[in-house]
């Protein structure tokens, strides 16, 4: 598929797009309603460019329709759920059919193959397993290729290194920041490949990793809403990330006007799944900013490449590989009635894991001269935030009205991390 000539590829995409639109129109009430509002019917999609007639979908739709309002396939065809954090306290849920899982696995396999990973390689999957798609995506991709997979999940760096050494691991999949944190990974090991994604990283980080550890650092991209890791990946020519557009049809739009932008221009990445049944996503706004390129890649793959994600068009932060929205922090603080939702997120690079602090203003009502009461307050704030985002920030109590405000609004995020 990777080398399919462009013309038949476009024909295949159109065929699949038409199928998807009809499928979703008949099965997903929200999509049908929005089409009817615009006066669009499935038969109006005659060319790929007609995709612009279709309504967008957003993360908030998944939240509003939680848990399964956007499900396309009947329940007896659903084999697995994945969930990810929503933009506020409520998660989003994605039901997948067996075919969806196969498509996802296939995308991960195509990425691994492109990186030069083969049967005989030992793949350590240090992404989290579970509701997060990172772990299971690479797991099935690796097994599908015939690799020996070590499903170690995240954490416990010492054990990671011990097993890496003892089992002769040749490839590891994890976030680049986690890898940098345990640079000793390369010492006395057979590690040759790193498969990095789930958070933005830079060419400088890649150079550091490759120079310090002697491995090849590969890019992978994916998102739960569309499938999981393996939506796109970088080939050895490093022209960008090839998108498996026979399943995930990409567009770039202007995030303000919502008009499609031509290839080569930077805008918001939008995906339409064109073979998915469990949760068909049409014109899903990823909020990731990038551009699509059509230049022929020396590797011969015809699938368009996108630049590595450099920024986002919303306020989402990626902290320790986890997506965090300031709104989630706010939702957490609202669960602790004594504190005002006046907060500031401070992020700083350190030699290891980035420092993640949340400053919260203390109010007169919350203040007590009893230190246990204040410690308890801090703990309740931490628990409330942690239960929503799954991370453990440092909670600092600060005096009221001390967080810097501009035009009455506190600057919610101070991100001093090295880019």
Can you say how many angstroms the Cα of residue 90 is from the centroid of all Cα atoms in its chain?
17
User: What's the closest the beta carbon of residue 336 comes to another protein, in angstroms?
Assistant: 16
The reply to whether 404 sits near another protein by the rule CB under 8 A is: no
Site for another protein in 349-368 (CB under 8 A): 362-364, 367-368
137: part of which helix (H) or strand (E)? helix 133-145
* 400 binds another protein per the rule CB under 8 A: yes
Distance, first Cα to last Cα, the chain: 35
By beta-carbon proximity to another protein, the closer residue of 37 and 364 is: 364
Of 202 and 363, the one with the shorter C-beta distance to another protein is: 363
- Confirm or reject binding of residue 387 to another protein (CB under 8 A): no
- Assess 414 for contact with another protein (CB under 8 A): no
- Give least dist CB 368 to another protein, A: 7
**In the complex, minimum distance from the CB of residue 398 to another protein, in angstroms, rounded to a whole number:** 5
CB of 335 to another protein, least distance (A): 20
**Least spacing, CB of residue 390 vs another protein, in Å:** 22
Q: Provide CB contacts within 8 A for 107, sequence distance 6+.
A: 141, 222, 227, 230, 231, 244, 247, 248
Residue closer to another protein, measured from CB, 203 or 375? 375
- Find the shortest distance in angstroms from Cβ 142 to another protein: 43
Do 170 and 185 form a contact (C-beta atoms < 8 A)? no
Give the span between the Cα atoms of 143 and 148, in whole angstroms. Answer: 7
Applying CB under 8 A, the site for another protein has a residue count of 19
Q: Does residue 304 sit in helix, strand or coil? A: coil
Alpha helix (H) ranges present in 202-317?
203-213
Q: Tell me if 229 sits within 8 A of 221, measured CB to CB.
A: yes
Say whether residue 416 binds another protein (CB under 8 A): no
Q: Which is nearer to another protein, 202 or 401 (CB)?
A: 401
Angle between helices 98-115 and 133-145 (to 10 degrees): 70
Q: From the CB of 411, what's the least distance to another protein, in Å?
A: 18
Whose Cβ is closer to another protein: residue 187's or residue 373's? 373
Contact call for residues 266 and 290 (beta carbons, < 8 A) = yes
| Cβ-based nearer residue to another protein, 156 or 368 | 368
Which residues from 367-386 bind another protein, rule CB under 8 A?
Answer: 367-371, 374-375, 378
**Burial, 19: exposed, middle or buried (Cβ in 10 Å; 0-12, 13-18, 19+)?**
middle
- CA 150 to CA 93: how far, in whole Å? 27
Q: Which residues pair with 213 in a beta bridge?
A: none
Q: Which one of residues 7, 166, 351, 399 is an interface residue with another protein (CB under 8 A)?
A: 399
Residue 112 found at the interface with another protein (CB under 8 A)? no
d(CA 161, CA 292): 38
Residues binding another protein (CB under 8 A): 362-364, 367-371, 374-375, 378, 395-402
């Amino acid at each position: 598929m990777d080398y399919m000539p462009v013309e038949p590829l476009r024909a295949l995409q159109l065929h699949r797009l038409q199928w998807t639109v009809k499928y979703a129109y008949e099965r997903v009430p929200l999509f049908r309603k929005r089409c009817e509002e615009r006066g669009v019917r499935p038969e109006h999609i005659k060319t790929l460019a007609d995709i612009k007639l279709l309504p967008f979908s957003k993360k908030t739709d998944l939240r509003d329709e939680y848990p399964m309002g956007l499900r396309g396939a009947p329940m007896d065809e659903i084999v697995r759920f994945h969930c990810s954090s929503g933009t506020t306290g409520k998660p989003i849920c994605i039901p997948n059919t067996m075919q969806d899982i196969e498509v996802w696995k296939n995308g991960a396999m195509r990425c691994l193959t492109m990186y030069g990973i083969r049967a005989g390689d030992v793949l350590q999957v240090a992404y989290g397993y579970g509701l997060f798609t990172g772990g299971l995506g690479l797991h099935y991709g690796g097994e599908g290729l015939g690799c020996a997979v070590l499903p170690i999940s995240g954490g416990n760096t010492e054990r990671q290194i011990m097993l890496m050494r003892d089992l002769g691991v040749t490839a590891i999949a994890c976030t680049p920041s986690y890898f940098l944190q345990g640079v000793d990974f390369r010492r006395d090991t057979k590690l040759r490949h790193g498969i990095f994604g789930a958070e933005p990283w830079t060419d400088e980080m890649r150079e550091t990793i490759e120079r310090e550890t002697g491995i090849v650092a590969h890019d992978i991209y994916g998102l739960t809403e569309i499938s999981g890791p393996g939506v796109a990946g970088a080939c050895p020519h490093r022209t960008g990330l090839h998108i498996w557009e026979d399943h995930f049809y990409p567009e770039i739009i202007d995030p303000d006007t919502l008009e499609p932008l031509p290839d080569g221009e930077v805008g918001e990445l939008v995906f339409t799944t064109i073979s998915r049944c469990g949760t068909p996503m049409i014109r899903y706004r990823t909020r990731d900013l990038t551009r699509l390129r059509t230049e022929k890649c020396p590797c011969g793959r015809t699938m368009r490449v996108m630049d590595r994600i450099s920024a986002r068009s919303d306020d989402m932060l990626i902290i320790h590989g986890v997506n965090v929205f300031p709104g989630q922090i706010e939702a957490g603080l609202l669960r602790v009635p004594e504190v005002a939702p006046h907060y500031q997120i401070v992020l700083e690079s350190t030699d290891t894991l980035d420092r993640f602090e949340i400053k919260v203003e203390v109010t007169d009502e919350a203040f007590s001269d009893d230190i246990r009461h204040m410690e308890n307050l801090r703990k309740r704030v931490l628990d409330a935030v942690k239960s929503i985002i799954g991370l453990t920030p440092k909670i600092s109590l600060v005096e009221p009205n001390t967080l810097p405000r501009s035009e009455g609004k506190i600057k919610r995020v101070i991100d001093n991390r090295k880019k």
